[in-house]
């Protein structure tokens, strides 16, 4: 910067408000300040003035003013309390200490643990922390969930595993007495909205519309429909909906039908097969509260699904393997101290019924992470294509699962889960036998 001549510097100092009784002009967002006479400082110390009172000839970033306005808005919002703006703010969390004992045998060879064919632990310890923030007004809401899920161990442990599991906002467009229409956009998992024991484990980054209508003598009807982003690089979207009736005819009967379309035609054969899924599922359940078990909830359920786009491929010896079903029951609901609940179900799933990336069933363990159409389970065609002898994936299994939950206090619960599966069609891929026991101590607050 060029040094100013002494006579110009003196003129600036003498005309400065610090030598007068004048008031500095007020800028937008600033409070008027009246200066008082003070002793003059040495010529080298020029008093700064507010930036809003100075005109600059230099070019400025066109977004700078907008960013500064945004910063001021964020700063001011911190000074406004929830009590002033209304609504309900909820902050909750969970701390989970988890233990897993996983046993997997592939063609008679043990896969996990010390000396196993794959370098994966048989006994694993995890620590999971979930932080949930929810805010709701009469017509709008937002929800956030951060998950910290890390392996335990001085050598094997991790400290940097964090993900945004949920982050969406919504509003009520039609707030009727018997009919409501809501719209939501953001992130969550498909299973937070849609119901299945075999599918809907994928991230749901997209938009959702909810329609609900109730009749006093008929029951409650709903229709949820939305679109989700699969890959923005290829402009690939999926579409999903679920409709159903709850408490039909004022009984415990519930019926649900869902449809999800993952397919977008691709010139690459492997990518085309990976997303060639149009899955419909029909689910029926009945629940009641019998006296003989202390009016605890008992629920029986069953569902069947079909992938309508499956075709015969090399991995299936040219035959379609596109069906799946499950059935089970649950007893109890955990809400307070000494409550308990049990859920048990049997699952049967053919190789092409559900895509690997969306499978939520018992699965096959698959310690080697081999996909059904590609050698790598992530679906990368560059890893190479599988054959009828090597294809694995997450389906082609039959098995059962039992889960039990008990509340020691209103906050502390114990969750135990056992699952077992075996190969459904032994002519497709290797023969895998998989079982896992999991125990979680959960503190919720």
Q: Are 89 and 81 in contact (CB under 8 A)?
A: no
Alpha-carbon distance 13 to 378, whole Å? Answer: 69
Average of per-residue pLDDT across 381-392? 94
**Can you give the pLDDT at residue 115?**
87
Determine the average pLDDT of the residues in 105-110. 94
Q: What CATH class has 94-444?
A: mainly beta
**pLDDT tens per residue across span 220-273:** 999 999 999 999 999 999 999 999 999 999 999 999 999 999 999 998 999 999
* pLDDT over 90 (residue 310): yes
The conformation of residue 385, written as its DSSP 8-state character, comes to B
- Domain extents in the chain: 6-57, 94-444
Distance in angstroms (rounded) separating the CA atoms of residues 128 and 99: 11
Strand bridging mode 179-189 / 203-215? antiparallel
pLDDT at position 138 over 80:
yes
Burial of 73 (0-12, 13-18, 19+ CB in 10 A): exposed
Residue 75: predicted pLDDT: 60
Confidence of residue 300 (pLDDT cuts 50, 70, 90): very high
* Residue 315 pLDDT greater than 90, yes or no: yes
Mind listing the pLDDT tens digit for each residue in 274-286?
A: 999 999 999 999 9
What is the secondary structure of 29-59 as a DSSP string? T----B----PPPPTT-PPP--GGG----S-
Joined tokens for residue 439: 């125990």
| Reported confidence tier of residue 216, pLDDT bands at 50, 70, 90 | confident
Q: Is the CB of residue 92 less than 8 Å from the CB of residue 444? A: yes
pLDDT class of 217 with cuts at 50, 70, 90: confident
Has residue 99 got a pLDDT over 70? yes
pLDDT number for residue 421 = 98
pLDDT classification of 82: cutoffs 50, 70, 90: low
Confidence of residue 52 (pLDDT cuts 50, 70, 90): very low
- The pLDDT value given to residue 47: 41
Distance from C-alpha of 406 to C-alpha of 336, rounded to nearest angstrom:
10
Instruction: Report the pLDDT averaged over residues 93-118.
Output: 95
Separation between Cα atoms, residue 72 and residue 163, nearest integer Å: 29
Alpha-carbon Rg for the chain, nearest whole angstrom, is 31
Residue 80 has pLDDT above 70, yes or no: no
Query: Which of 1-5, 76-80, 323-327, 440-444 is least confident?
Result: 1-5
Residue 175 reports pLDDT greater than 80: yes
DSSP 114: T
Is residue 383 a contact partner of residue 376, using CB atoms and an 8 Å limit?
Answer: yes
Q: What is the mean pLDDT of residues 93-110?
A: 96
Confidence of residue 22 (pLDDT cuts 50, 70, 90): very low
State residue 412's pLDDT score.
96
- Smallest Cα–Cα separation from 363: which of 378, 373, 349, 374? 349
- Asked whether the predicted pLDDT for residue 295 surpasses 50, the reply is yes
**Average pLDDT, integer, range 148-176:** 96
- Is the pLDDT confidence value at 318 over 50? yes
CA distance to 14, 17, 29, 50, 188, per residue, from 22 (Å): 13, 6, 20, 15, 58
The pLDDT assigned to 42 comes to 42
Cα 445 to Cα 442: distance, rounded to the nearest angstrom: 10
The yes-or-no verdict on residue 19 having pLDDT over 60 is no
* Mean pLDDT, rounded, for 20-27: 39
Q: What mean pLDDT do residues 18-40 have?
A: 40
Give me the pLDDT at residue 69, please: 73
Higher pLDDT, 63 or 384: 384
d(CA 439, CA 126): 10
Q: Mean pLDDT for the chain?
A: 86
Paired strand residues for 47: none
Q: How confident is the model at residue 145 (pLDDT cuts 50, 70, 90)?
A: very high
Mean pLDDT across the stretch 133-149? 96
């Amino acid at each position: 910067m060029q040094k100013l001549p002494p006579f110009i510097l003196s003129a600036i100092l003498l005309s400065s408000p610090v030598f007068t009784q004048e008031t500095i002009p007020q800028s937008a967002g600033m409070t008027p300040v009246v200066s008082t006479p003070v002793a003059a400082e040495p010529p080298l110390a020029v008093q700064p003035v507010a930036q809003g009172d100075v005109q600059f000839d230099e070019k400025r970033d066109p977004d700078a003013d907008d960013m500064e306005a945004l910063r001021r808005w964020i700063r001011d919002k911190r000074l406004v309390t929830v009590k002033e703006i209304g609504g309900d703010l909820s902050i909750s969390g969970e701390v989970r200490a988890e233990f897993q004992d996983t046993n997997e045998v592939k063609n008679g060879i043990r896969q996990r643990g010390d000396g196993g064919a794959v370098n994966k632990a048989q006994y694993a310890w995890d620590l999971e922390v979930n932080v949930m923030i929810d805010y709701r007004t009469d017509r709008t809401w937002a929800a956030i969930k951060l998950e910290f899920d890390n392996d335990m161990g001085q050598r094997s442990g991790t400290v940097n595993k964090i993900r945004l599991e949920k982050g969406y906002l919504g509003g009520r467009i039609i707030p009727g007495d018997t009919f409501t229409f809501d719209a939501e956009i953001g992130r969550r998992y498909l299973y937070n909205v849609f119901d299945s024991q075999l599918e809907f484990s994928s991230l749901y980054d997209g938009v959702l519309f909810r329609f609900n209508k109730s009749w006093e003598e008929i029951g409650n009807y709903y229709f949820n429909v939305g679109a989700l982003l699969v890959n923005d690089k290829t402009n690939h979207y999926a579409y999903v909906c679920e409709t159903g009736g709850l408490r039909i005819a004022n009984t415990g009967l519930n019926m649900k039908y869902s449809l999800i379309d993952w397919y977008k035609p691709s010139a690459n054969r492997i990518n085309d097969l990976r997303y060639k899924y149009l899955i419909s599922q029909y689910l029926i359940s009945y629940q009641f509260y019998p006296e003989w078990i202390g009016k605890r909830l008992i629920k029986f359920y069953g569902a069947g699904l079909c992938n309508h786009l499956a075709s015969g491929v090399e991995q299936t010896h040219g035959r379609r393997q596109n069906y799946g079903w499950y059935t089970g029951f649950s007893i109890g609901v955990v809400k307070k101290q000494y409550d308990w609940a049990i859920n048990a179900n049997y699952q049967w799933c053919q190789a092409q019924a559900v895509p690997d990336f969306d499978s939520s069933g018992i699965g096959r363990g698959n310690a080697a992470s081999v996909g059904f159409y590609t050698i790598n389970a992530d679906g990368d065609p560059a890893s190479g294509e599988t054959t009828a002898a090597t294809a694995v994936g997450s389906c082609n299994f039959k098995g059962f699962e039992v889960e039990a939950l008990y509340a020691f206090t209103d906050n502390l619960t114990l969750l135990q889960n056992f699952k077992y599966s075996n190969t459904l069609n032994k002519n497709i891929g290797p023969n895998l036998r998989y079982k896992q026991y999991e125990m979680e101590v959960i503190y919720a607050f």
